[in-house]
Structure 1
Amino acid sequence: MPDSQTFLSIDLPALLAATLACLSCALVGNFLVLRRQSLMGDAITHAVLPGIVAGFLVAGTRDTFPMMAGALTAAIIAAILIELVRRLGRVEAGAAMGVIFTAMFALGVVMIEQGAARQVDLDADCVLYGQLEGILWFAPQGWASLADPAVWADMPRQVVQLAAVFALCLTLVLVFLKELTLVSFDPALADTLGLKSWMVQHGIAAMAALAAIAAFEAVGSILVIAMLICPAATARLLCDRVPAQLGLSLLVGAATGIGGYLLGAFGPHLLGYDQSVSAAGMIATLAGLILALAILFAPRYGVLARRKRLGTVDGVLV
């Protein structure tokens, strides 16, 4: 186990980044799950890759602005292309998304190779797994130093960025919860009541893109996809009311982020191994395991509960 200084400088910033990324994605993912558009999270995380790489290649740096600008541009292009394929090709929306995001992800991988040739520090491992282990915070000099505001002012950029995105998404959800809920369940009724459902739908997609882009550099595409779906789907299996679902998904996201990082970083050492495992990979794995448990054991919608109800007729077990 690391000493306190090592934990504060290496593990704490990575743990904060992972948890904030999980919270942001879990919060926004609820509305993708409610609208049966979980594939959109996958599409967004793949489609923005060429934009992110383009930002790196043009600016030659990992600064926030070129990354965000490139990713948002790619997201807009992807949305336009998906709509064109859907209308001109007369195919289902899910198929159109599948065609566009796989093509754009492949383009991004090709561009990564060009970046390597131009000595830009970007590779496929960064894209898939993120760089949680590379988020370092050297300002704290022991636990007592955390009481100094100057120490927190030197927090790594990725953590600050993820905290700002989570705060923005949480504020938007709290302010527009009624509209988001209505459009997620019945967009036709929303239109009848004078609410422009298409604007809300695009707002949900924009929040999902923002959360994915902010988390992309730190945790990679695998974790973003998992956290956009697993906490929200787990919460949906365990409750019926949207406010309760939102709160439960945040609890699952936080528990998954913290537990997955600690298991990945320190679990192998407790078992006698010298090397840790990928923190992002372990977080995604834990999210999948929690969802699997909910699928099996949820008190109302779980597999075992449904089989028990189907096996009972008029109170008699058959």
Structure 2
Amino acid sequence: MSSDFWIMLTAALMSASCGILGCFLILRKMALIGDAISHAVLPGIAIAFLLSGGRDSMAMMIGATALGLIAVFIIQWLQISGIQSDASIGIIFTALFAVGVILVSLNARNIDLDLDCVLFGEIAYVQWDTWMLNGADMGPRSVWMLGFALLVILTLLGLFYKQFKITAFDPAMAAACGIPVMLFHYLLMGMVSMTSVASFESVGAILVVGMLVIPAATAYLLTDRLGRMLIYSVIVGVVSSIVGYYTAYMLNASIGGSIVTVAGILFIITFLLSPRHGVLFRKLKQKRIASSITSN
């Protein structure tokens, strides 16, 4: 298969995974948690590299997921202790990210990992990093990692959609109904951590944040129903991936940067023109109401 296919498939899988999770983060007013986790998992990746001695995908995913959950636990503990939410998030993700940078820089000669790869990624090279199984080329490793992450997300949402929905909109009612709110909170955070590390080699830690937030925010402006919001978020993410790739190809620019830029443009268009929450439509509605009042 051509490199174009693998690049767009990788981007689409990443965008779909991030878009679905981003919807729940936005509804729970936790968009910055995605930023914190995507940076805080770096020590887990570095430790997994050191322990496994190579780029073992499962070791990376386990290490990163564990650090992501630890980061969320510490953030919540600080909030309970009286530290403001934004301050606790900023403290933990910068501190853990700094620890990860130190681990990577100190062991750069011993492990096949560098900060540019972690921060920015390079989706153009995914077809060269393949997974070999018994001597057979199974295709790009990033595709398998992102495919696995998306499968886990869809499975958990399929099994516990009602619980995730109630805890996202009204945690107090969920607790009153006997739903273990904290369990589903940590399940969501674990999925965010897993998706973050699976996306590192395609778009890097920084741009993962954009795909966690922008498609979901765009979908939020288009509908008030969670089911449709999830679908719209995936569509926006996949369209951004395809259009962003061809834009980067024509401009000879960064593919990851182009994908997030296209997603940002789609958000701005939706913000202005959305039939439900668009600024222009809202102003037109206000004018119509004002003119009707004046005429009466």
Q: Output aligned runs, 1:1-150, within 5 Å.
A: 8-88=1-81, 90-116=82-108, 118-136=109-127
- Distance, in Å, in 2 between the alignment partners of 1:93 and 1:52 is 26
Contact 1:71 1:213 survives alignment (8 Å) = yes
CA shift, 1:253, in A, is 1.2
The letter of the residue matching 2:7 is A
Report the counterpart of residue 307 of structure 1 in structure 2. 283
The letter of the residue matching 2:155 is T
Deviates most, 49-58 or 28-37: 49-58
- Distance, in Å, in 1 between the alignment partners of 2:17 and 2:137 is 22
CA shift, 1:167, in A, is 1.7
Q: Output aligned runs, 1:252-263, within 5 Å.
A: 252-263=236-247
Contact 2:14 2:146 survives alignment (8 Å) = yes
The letter of the residue matching 2:121 is G
TM superposition outliers: structure 1 runs of 4+ over 6 Å: none
CA shift, 1:314, in A, is 6.4
Contact 1:34 1:185 survives alignment (8 Å) = yes
Report the counterpart of residue 270 of structure 2 in structure 1. 294
The letter of the residue matching 1:46 is H
- Distance, in Å, in 2 between the alignment partners of 1:244 and 1:279 is 28
**Secondary structure in 1 matching 2:179:** coil
- Distance, in Å, in 2 between the alignment partners of 1:99 and 1:315 is 52
- Distance, in Å, in 2 between the alignment partners of 1:119 and 1:277 is 31
- Distance, in Å, in 2 between the alignment partners of 1:317 and 1:310 is 12
Query: What does the per-residue CA deviation read over 1:42-89, in whole Å, with 9 as the maximum and x for residues that have no partner?
Result: 01101101111222233331121221232123223312322332233x
Report the counterpart of residue 209 of structure 1 in structure 2. 193
Contact 1:222 1:281 survives alignment (8 Å) = no
The letter of the residue matching 1:292 is I
Query: What does the per-residue CA deviation read over 1:93-113, in whole Å, with 9 as the maximum and x for residues that have no partner?
Result: 232111100111122222221
Task: Give the length in aligned residue pairs.
Answer: 289
The change in CA–CA distance for 1:138 and 1:303 in structure 2 (over 3 A counts) is closer
Contact 1:129 1:219 survives alignment (8 Å) = yes
- Distance, in Å, in 2 between the alignment partners of 1:220 and 1:138 is 15
2:215 to 203, 210, 231: 231
The letter of the residue matching 1:195 is I
Contact 2:202 2:256 survives alignment (8 Å) = no
- Distance, in Å, in 2 between the alignment partners of 1:51 and 1:166 is 21
Q: Normalising by structure 1, what TM-score?
A: 0.84
**Secondary structure in 1 matching 2:103:** helix
The answer to whether residue 138 in structure 2 is matched with residue 154 in structure 1 is: yes
Q: Output aligned runs, 1:147-226, within 5 Å.
A: 154-226=138-210
Q: Normalising by structure 2, what TM-score?
A: 0.90
CA shift, 1:174, in A, is 2.4
* Structure 2: segments with no counterpart, 5+ residues: 131-135
The change in CA–CA distance for 1:263 and 1:122 in structure 2 (over 3 A counts) is same
The letter of the residue matching 2:58 is F
CA shift, 1:211, in A, is 1.4
